[in-house]
A = this chain, B = another copy of it.
Amino acid sequence: MAIVVQKYGGTSVGDVDRMKRVADRISRTHRDGNQVVVVVSAMGKTTDDLVTMAARISERPPERELDILLTSGERISMSLLAMALHGRGVPAKSFTGSQAGIITDAVHGKARIVDITPGRVQQALDGGNVVIVAGFQGVSQDTKDITTLGRGGSDTTAVALAASLGADVCEIYTDVDGVFTADPRIVLGAHKLDRISYEEMLEMAAQGAGVLQVRSVEFGRNHDVRIHVRSSFSYAAGTWVGPKEDMVEDAIISGVAHDTSEAKLTIQQVPDRPGVAARLFSSLAEENINIDMIVQNVSADGRTDISFTLPRGDTLQARGVLEPLADEVGAAGVKVDEDIAKVSLVGAGMKTHPGVAAKMFGALSAAGVNIEMISTSTIRVSVVVARNDVETAVQAVHAVFGLGDDGLPAEEA
């Protein structure tokens, strides 16, 4: 008997009718003879509504309490989904993250899973039940407090459970058909990928392809979980994420991702001494601020600007950490630019094809897009551009690498 883990996001269970449709789909998988574990998010905008309520109560709500508040959303959706399954004659039991054995560290708001002890889940499965597990939440190993895994954390709950249960597949249901070569809302000719490797998906996710949380892909890669990203509105196959050896074709370029959720922070005229950068970034790490692209150029006069991108919501906190430090190390100041976007080209084949980055920069230049920052890995080239340029940039890059039928002239990569 196969074990199937299915994850449904907030849109898929956005109202009672959609929840009933999800119940139909789960019933079908169960009737087909599978053991089914379902990870569910809060309904629709529930989490946003709870955040708003917290903001009305307190300007800076304590994170421990915010996590307790936010996790109530999944408690509602998971019990309702279990009821809907009962109504269809399918035995079902729901479990909170804590009950399902999702053990995390104690970093409220963005906890990391450190262990999974799915004894109760396994027992309920063995008893013939569909098991519903609250996504996005866990319990801290040390404090026994309720924690949340951050936005998109339900993906990680699902993949981590799939790994610990030895599931045959982890299906991530979403409101799009799979992973695309670019955001179809921006690039008309973008097409769905049938398969993508963990590494490429990791880069796509990290660079803003919002379909999977980065940590869920890391978890999948580290524990070899086959992930199937698909639409909850159709029964068509979506995109399979797996190891490289599963890939039938070795495409040079997988796609173009973009991310408009970040800001750029620059520490100006930092004295170019050993240890300064380390000191700045370790202070940020201590505050659990996730930074992304870092760019530094040594200038002639022994001073340099250090720039990095970070989630826009963290800029205030980062400023608070960096401003006194900038003073201390003798830098000129801290500047924030919130009107930026990141555009990334991802592809496992690009490392053996020189000239990919140059071709991307050329296309951007031809489209009149100015590049503010550049960062590359072996399978990715990312640039930061002005927020207003993001659509033009994505379209130009997608077209120049011939990723789809753009209606624009496509060259051979």
Contact = CB atoms under 8 A, between A and B. Distances in A.
A71 interface: yes
A53 B15 CA distance: 10
Interface in A72-91: 72-73, 75-76, 78-80, 82-84, 86-87
Interface stretch (A60-68, A236-244, A400-408): A60-68
A266 interface: no
A92 B58 CA distance: 13
Given A65-B94, A68-B94, A57 B84 contact: yes
Given A86-B62, A99-B144, A144-B120, A68 B57 contact: no
Interface string A260-296: 0000000000000000000000000000000000000
A78 B68 contact: yes
A20 interface: yes
B61 A83 contact: yes
A59 interface: yes
A93 interface: yes
Given A62-B82, A83-B66, A20 B57 contact: yes
Contacts of A176: none
Contact of A53 (B16, B50, B72, B144): B16
Contact of A58 (B61, B87, B94): B87
B99 A83 contact: no
Category for how many chain A residues contact B: 35 or more
A80 B69 contact: yes
A311 B19 CA distance: 32
Q: Quickly give the copy total for this chain.
A: 2
A228 to B, nearest CB: 27
B71 A58 contact: no
A411 to B, nearest CB: 54
B71 A83 contact: no
Nearest to A80: B57
A188 to B, nearest CB: 39
Contact of A54 (B64, B83, B94): B83
A68 B79 contact: yes
B79 A66 contact: yes
A147 to B, nearest CB: 13
A75 to B, nearest CB: 4
A69 B76 contact: yes
A56 interface: yes
Contacts of A79: 54, 65-66, 68-69, 72
Nearest to A59: B87
A19 B20 CA distance: 35
7 contacts: A20-B57, A53-B76, A54-B80, A61-B87, A68-B96, A69-B75, A72-B72
Given A61-B86, A62-B82, A99-B144, 11 more contacts: A16-B56, A50-B76, A57-B83, A57-B84, A65-B80, A65-B92, A68-B82, A69-B76, A69-B80, A71-B75, A120-B144
